[in-house]
Structure 1
Amino acid sequence: MLPLLLASSSVYRRDLLSRLRLPFTCSSPDIDESHRADESALELVKRLSLEKAQALAASHPAHLIIGSDQVAVLNNQIIGKPHTFDKARQQLLNASGASVSFLTGLTLLNSQTGEHETDYVPFTVHMRTLSAVQIERYLHAEQPYDCAGSFKAEGLGVSLFQRTEGDDATSLVGLPLIRLVDMLLAQGVAIP
């Protein structure tokens, strides 16, 4: 098996990938993650997941490189990581009683052959109707300022959900493991 490389500095993606109990290393790709004019959210995450993997191919020959990128979409607008309490509060106020769609792009690149597979996995969170007090209490408790959508689904953020919809809940955290396993199996990786 070629060595696995996760093209990410995300602790969330690293923790998810470790669930597969495969040895891997991580490296952060240095790419421009700007949204291009007239690029859909779906096109964006697929492009960025591929570019992240490709950015590390020359420095990591003979590797299977995993690239992933995610955006949250609310009312047809991409919402990013809030980074501050005030922006997170506004994101959650806007999402209250609404649905937030998460699109996660995924690429597995064989840097030895140059072959790659790129896909995306959608996941939707239907939010409860939230009061300003509930939102502020949540933000003080978990401080999810580095998470698109302003919540941590793997933590207390699940209490903000009315229901979820999708095939792979791990995609909500940023690395769709079910689809990744399909890609790894196609490359001859034995799992489990």
Structure 2
Amino acid sequence: MPESSKRPPRLILASSSPYRRELLERLRIPFDVVVPAIDETPLPGELPEQTALRLAQAKARAVAVALAGDGRALVIGSDQVATYDGHQIGKPGTHEKALAQLQAMRGREVRFHSALCLLDSVSGGVQTINAITKVRFRDLPDTLLDAYLRAETPYDCAGSAKAEGLGIALLDAIESDDPTALIGLPLIALTRMLLAAGYPLLAEAR
């Protein structure tokens, strides 16, 4: 059997997120990053979990199509949507919008839908999951919310708080089956998917 046939499939992260890249690096396996070019606007009447799952699959498919003919690859697509009281929360982008988000969420439970897709570029096989994380925010005054934002500037995070950093001080409780899901990439689910796809996960760890 040729040596090349024994090689594991190429692993590709279809994302522009530095947080997802950092999470995937924890597995100590080789991977490439390809940024998908898709429209991430929610569809009319689409539920938040539907948006997250659709976009996770769309990202993976877009990258798989772009790399067609380059051999087998396992493409990871992920998307996260946060909601409270039926309101969808996006990335704030500015200090003012981030402060408004935190003011609206204080004392409330926020649900983070972290969708994940693993697509086999050759077989077309797709595995998906929506990991739900329930987060209760503390009821903190504006002065502390403003101080947090100026310290960590989490303007590229849905919900305006980095649970892996100082943002943990804003949270009263987290309920999840996958602790990395809140940061943006559910690693427990991903490793399950990779093993199911036949990827030699631990053998490839470096």
Q: Secondary structure at the match of 2:76?
A: strand
Aligned twin of 1:172 = 182
Matched residues in 1 for 2:114 and 2:65: separation?
Answer: 24
Aligned twin of 1:112 = 122
CA displacement at 1:69 relative to structure 2: 0.3
Matched residues in 2 for 1:191 and 1:25: separation?
Answer: 16
The amino acid of 1:57's aligned partner reads: A
Select which of 61, 68, 82 maps to 1:72: 82
- Matched positions, count: 192
**Structure 1 residues 96-141: Cα deviation after superposition (integer angstroms, max 9, x where no partner):** 1111110011000000111111111000111111100110110010
Once superposed, which parts of structure 1, at least 4 consecutive aligned residues long, lie more than 6 Å away? none
Larger Rg: 2
Matched residues in 2 for 1:73 and 1:178: separation?
Answer: 23
Matched residues in 1 for 2:29 and 2:85: separation?
Answer: 38
CA displacement at 1:190 relative to structure 2: 2.2
Q: Secondary structure at the match of 2:53?
A: helix
Q: Secondary structure at the match of 1:97?
A: coil
Matched residues in 1 for 2:98 and 2:65: separation?
Answer: 38
Q: Secondary structure at the match of 2:54?
A: helix
The amino acid of 2:81's aligned partner reads: V
Q: Percent identity?
A: 47
**TM-align CA RMSD:** 0.8
Aligned twin of 2:43 = 36
Question: TM-score, with normalisation over the residues of structure 2?
Answer: 0.91
Matched residues in 2 for 1:79 and 1:181: separation?
Answer: 28
CA displacement at 1:191 relative to structure 2: 2.7
The amino acid of 1:27's aligned partner reads: V
Select which of 13, 20, 30 maps to 1:13: 20
Q: Which moved more, 1:112-121 or 1:47-56?
A: 112-121
Matched residues in 2 for 1:85 and 1:3: separation?
Answer: 39
| Structure 2 gaps, min length 5 | 1-7
The amino acid of 1:55's aligned partner reads: A
CA displacement at 1:185 relative to structure 2: 0.4
